[in-house]
Amino acid sequence: MDRQMTAIVNARLQGREGLHRLSIDGEHFAVFEPQSGETEAGATEIDAGSNLVIPPFVEPHIHLDAAMTAGEPRWNKSGTLFEGIECWAERKAMLTHEDVIARAEATLKLFSRHGIQYVRTHVDITDPNLTALRALLEVRERSRDFVDLQIVAFPQEGLWSYPGACELMEEALKLGADVVGGIPHFEFTREYGVESVKWLVDLAQRHDRLIDVHCDEIDDSESRFLEVLAAEALRYDYGARVTASHTCAMGSYNNAYCSRLFRLLEKSGLRFVSLPTENLHLQGRFDGYPKRRGLTRVPELLESGLKVAFGQDSICDPWYPLGNGNLLRTLDVGLHVGHMLGMEWIENSLSLITENGAAALELEDYSLVPGHRARCVIVQGESPYEVLKWQLPVLASIRDGRVMVQRRSE
């Protein structure tokens, strides 16, 4: 593939009437103008065929180091987060540099075929050799042509509960990790969890890094590390650089507590990432009937003006045996679980797998605007409703004016 384009014709844009011609000058968008009359795409033009053209999909939360290891060395029988962490600890002992690179690159290529051009991966740094981190740093460079990869230094076995984890975090940042992670609900005690959050926020500020914490990924209504993360972010005016991932416990909080919590969340301006397929699978495992859905309060967060993105979390790993790289599948599940199939939600839903993820990753130059990098996908459908209803493969993925993926319409 990899052809250089000079224009996208017959393009439908969200929020604009009619069809448009998006001209491309080198690696950047140039003029956007209404399409005049019948036009046939030439050799260096691509015909969007009246379909929507949107910014590339953003995968804001994946674990590339664990991708495609489901069943190795054993299957997660209970389906719980904690057994997943045990299985992963066994698989982690078998990691090699080449093994991580091969699986990570295969996963990124799978993502690319689905129109994803931006990925944030968590990488487990609770490993004295930092094998996965070193491999992913190499993958970040090797994949630049087709994906922007952000790496989170993620202490899977805890910062306070895994000996040496804080030193390994510092080392990971020195080696080049982009984002500081955490997992307070997995720490041995509540105090460890609180202290770990305060420590990681300070660490990120000292190194001028973003933050993305696995926060309250548990059905325990007493798991309240989100308020600690939000308060620390507010105290240092750092909220737009902080992502709270999962926040499943919020689905179990009582409404009176949530009312107080949301006041803080709105002031802090935190970013949120929800992982619908993963948490629907992992949570509710200790419930009889009725079983909780295990998701955070997605519509309420959005209605409060906070940005929520959906991510996949896993591709065939110890926590989740499925996953195919298609974010439209994730969006579909998330909208179902969140009771968000009202037309207003559907019409705005693509933002959950595009611009809200871009906000979490603090991407510059992201939206479809003349002067920005010519990066976009042509999806099948003239409206978000059709795109979601049909869930067909992307027709094209264009990056810096080059066609990375192109298919015939169905």
Question: Do the Cβ atoms of 58 and 18 come closer than 8 Å?
Answer: no
Q: Residue 2 CB, nearest distance to Fe ion (Å)?
A: 32
Residue nearer to Fe ion on the CB measure, 51 or 150: 150
Residue nearer to Fe ion on the CB measure, 122 or 307: 122
Q: Residue 273 CB, nearest distance to Fe ion (Å)?
A: 9
Residue nearer to Fe ion on the CB measure, 83 or 313: 313
Q: Residue 379 CB, nearest distance to Fe ion (Å)?
A: 26
The residue type of 225 is: F
Output the residue with the shortest Cβ distance to Fe ion: 313
Q: Residue 81 CB, nearest distance to Fe ion (Å)?
A: 9
Q: Residue 214 CB, nearest distance to Fe ion (Å)?
A: 5
Q: How far apart are CA 54 and CA 389, in angstroms?
A: 17
Active site residue 217: yes
Residue with tokens 């959950």: 352
Residue nearer to Fe ion on the CB measure, 313 or 332: 313
Within a 10 A sphere around the Cβ of 287, how many other Cβ atoms? 12
Q: Residue 312 CB, nearest distance to Fe ion (Å)?
A: 9
Residue nearer to Fe ion on the CB measure, 151 or 378: 151
Residue nearer to Fe ion on the CB measure, 122 or 399: 122
Q: Residue 63 CB, nearest distance to Fe ion (Å)?
A: 6
Residue nearer to Fe ion on the CB measure, 135 or 273: 273
Residue nearer to Fe ion on the CB measure, 124 or 332: 124
Three-state SS string over the chain comes to CCEECCEEEEEECCCCCCEEEEEEECCEEEEEEECCCCCCCCCCEEECCCCEEECCEEEEEECCCCCCCCCCCCCCCCCCHHHHHHHHHHHHCCCCHHHHHHHHHHHHHHHHHCCEEEEEEEEECCCCCCHHHHHHHHHHHHCCCCCEEEEEEECCCCCCCCCCHHHHHHHHHHHCCCEEEECHHHCCCHHHHHHHHHHHHHHHHHCCCEEEEEECCCCCCCCCHHHHHHHHHHHCCCHHHEEEEECHHHHCCCHHHHHHHHHHHHHHCCEEEECHHHHHHHCCCCCCCCCCCCCCCHHHHHHCCCCEEECCECCCECCECCCCCCHHHHHHHHHHHCCCCCHHHHHCHHHHHCHHHHHHCCCCCCCCCCCCECCEEECCCCCHHHHHHHCCCCCEEEECCEEEEECCCC
Q: How far apart are CA 267 and CA 269, in angstroms?
A: 6
Q: Out of 187, 217, 232, 355, pick the active-site residue.
A: 217
Q: Residue 215 CB, nearest distance to Fe ion (Å)?
A: 11
CA dihedral 156, 158, 163, 164 (to 10 degrees): 70
Residue with tokens 């080696």: 175
Question: Do the Cβ atoms of 248 and 283 come closer than 8 Å?
Answer: yes
Binding site for Fe ion (CB under 5 A): 313
Q: Which residues are catalytic?
A: 217
